[in-house]
Structure 1
């Protein structure tokens, strides 16, 4: 039996792309893995070092290993953009061009007015902001007025924050579904929070995403048509429409994602297991916290070596990659336009292979189709 695991370390880019300046000077010099390790004086990643992560870029504390039992390289994005949906779509064979609309100066008044008329209430905010900072700025006004907070980021995203108790989680989901039905942005995200003041507000794990559906069939559809099954873990559940032969496990944090992956390695008979570990990006990249980012890398490495690799079956292949960068050491708190890791390994891969810099995140799409559908080794 053949299985293919693709594990997306959200935001873990490995070097600026040649077109980085098309996305602003804020991304210049970005290298999430290398700069994070440098900022903390080095990271201890013995499992990933053995598998060849240090071959991708200079990572302090992680040696290059030209004899790694893996295929390695870096993938350059073909699509226009540097967001979660664009990255995951390209991994599954969908190239985005032109980029989704963004609003670096905030949402225009006519867009907001039309949205408010549809949901029947005023909103506050309307500008780009960090999700935690905007709660400090507007959370108390939200409690006083009952108006939901609307904000965006450097990505094509319409985010709506509201208090779980005083506004109501179902009402928040309802007005987000209205936004999804009426707005052209790539993603609509519900950002529920709790707390009583600017000092105590905190976001909860009841966030929910409404991405646009892909414009055409994806690799996931092709797998379904071939009678193959897919097991989604984490954020990947929310990025693609449902198709026959799919199981969705909507875990919401890295420990839960990793536990689900361990269980899948032990028990799942799905052909393709597709997981996203978003805490790197959500908790540390967007908050410019290299210490937390580095600690999470070390926790992932320990889990990988102890609780995942020992359960692989002879026919398993495992890919480790990312969807974009999110360098916590640069002034920007947004995603960065970077190469992503290409690290492929499994019991049947024993010969080292340096693939260099490869055009297209859809290398993953082509590789897993050849392995699962055509029966070819990579």
Structure 2
């Protein structure tokens, strides 16, 4: 068989498949994003994911299993402390975190806000954990009158800054966010500082597409850095560039939604560049999981499944497709937060074995270790490669 020269790594953001053993410590007992969606909304119509072995993964007994399985399958547990996007993606790329990013459910300390106001020369409104759409309804008008920044957080490790585009220009908001990013280090190193621009008038405010994430920089090299150092491409689709603070990325394209993410991935696949195409499809999480919309979540999974056939049909003989997730976000529970869950591991390629059960992997880092072995890169990641199992 030919060597694998390109990995197409797709993260279905928040598509978890059942609570991890330590889920109770995170308040996530009973969470099962995909399983509970099926319980509430009925069976999933996902023939292409099923063909790759989704229904044969341990713990899944609610998805149709066809007679012929064309992929390899398993599930992965997260070692890192936390259940946020950055933690999950970093572990996929080979970096485990011993301590979770800090969260601020009661708002940020006076010390943090005082320093922020001195550095930016602007006052602050809100300072609480809140919904982004609700916070601009509540404070948008006062912000427009005073020029003070709307600062808020969520259950995630985020420092979010909302501002009206006519009051604070996009460039100025980005500059302010960079100030906050540089300031929030050490014990207060939040995972992301997020620019949340909006437009409109009181009673009709709406957020714009000019959001930008200023993520913490990975604390050590990931598989992305090593692939780049080897002279291969690391193409980031969606918010991957933000998650890794551009580190280890050779080219990036941000996307509007899941289907745009698939479209961009397909275009990059046409180029045939050796290395990695790393795609995040965020709608599962952002649009449906956090908003507790199981029906919409189910439709989004089915919509991706229909597009999966296009991805598979474009694959070359030396391509490997890996589909996984970074955490859960069960839309059927009372919580609107992420959930601590196992994630699926599905693989397909013309040059790999069929119907191999990869079992329960002890860490997401197994993906980084496997990619390192595939590209014959020094494998120093804290994971176990499954290259020999699939080739």
TM > 0.5 = yes
> In the alignment, which of 198, 201, 205 is matched to residue 196 of structure 1?
201
Q: Does 1:175 align with 2:176?
A: yes
Alpha-carbon distance in structure 1 between the residues aligned to 2:61 and 2:210: 35
Alpha-carbon distance in structure 2 between the residues aligned to 1:106 and 1:243: 30
TM-score, length of structure 2 as denominator length: 0.90
8 Å Cα contact 2:126-2:152 kept in structure 1: yes
8 Å Cα contact 1:105-1:128 kept in structure 2: yes
| Residue 80 (structure 2) aligns with | 79
8 Å Cα contact 1:92-1:364 kept in structure 2: yes
Call closer, same or farther: CA 1:132–1:144 in 2, change over 3 Å.
same
> In the alignment, which of 335, 338, 348 is matched to residue 341 of structure 2?
338
| Residue 207 (structure 1) aligns with | 211
8 Å Cα contact 1:76-1:339 kept in structure 2: yes
Equivalenced residues, count: 373
C-alpha deviation, 1:74, in angstroms? 1.1
> In the alignment, which of 272, 286, 296 is matched to residue 282 of structure 1?
286
**Structure 2 residue matching 1:95: 3-state secondary structure:** coil
8 Å Cα contact 1:288-1:328 kept in structure 2: yes
Q: Which runs of 5+ in 1 are unaligned?
A: none
Alpha-carbon distance in structure 2 between the residues aligned to 1:354 and 1:360: 16
8 Å Cα contact 1:129-1:152 kept in structure 2: yes
**Structure 2 residue matching 1:167: 3-state secondary structure:** coil
C-alpha deviation, 1:279, in angstroms? 1.1
| Residue 46 (structure 2) aligns with | 45
Alpha-carbon distance in structure 1 between the residues aligned to 2:43 and 2:139: 38
C-alpha deviation, 1:273, in angstroms? 0.7
8 Å Cα contact 1:226-1:373 kept in structure 2: no
**Structure 2 residue matching 1:165: 3-state secondary structure:** coil
Deviates more, 1:360-369 or 1:132-141: 132-141
Aligned pairs (5 A) from 1:1-378: 2-24=5-27, 27-56=28-57, 57-58=59-60, 60=62, 62-65=63-66, 67-183=68-184, 184-198=189-203, 200-242=204-246, 246-305=250-309, 307-373=310-376, 378=390
**Structure 2 residue matching 1:136: 3-state secondary structure:** helix
C-alpha deviation, 1:67, in angstroms? 4.3
C-alpha deviation, 1:167, in angstroms? 2.3
Residue by residue, what CA displacement relative to the aligned partner does 1:216-235 show, whole Å, maximum 9, x if unpaired?
Answer: 11111111222222111111
Residue by residue, what CA displacement relative to the aligned partner does 1:78-120 show, whole Å, maximum 9, x if unpaired?
Answer: 1001111111111111111111111122212221122112111
**Structure 1 residue matching 2:169: 3-state secondary structure:** helix
**Structure 2 residue matching 1:328: 3-state secondary structure:** coil
Deviates more, 1:238-247 or 1:157-166: 238-247
Query: Alignment RMSD, CA only?
Result: 1.9
Alpha-carbon distance in structure 1 between the residues aligned to 2:120 and 2:249: 36
C-alpha deviation, 1:323, in angstroms? 0.9
8 Å Cα contact 1:73-1:342 kept in structure 2: yes
Q: Which runs of 5+ in 2 are unaligned?
A: 379-386
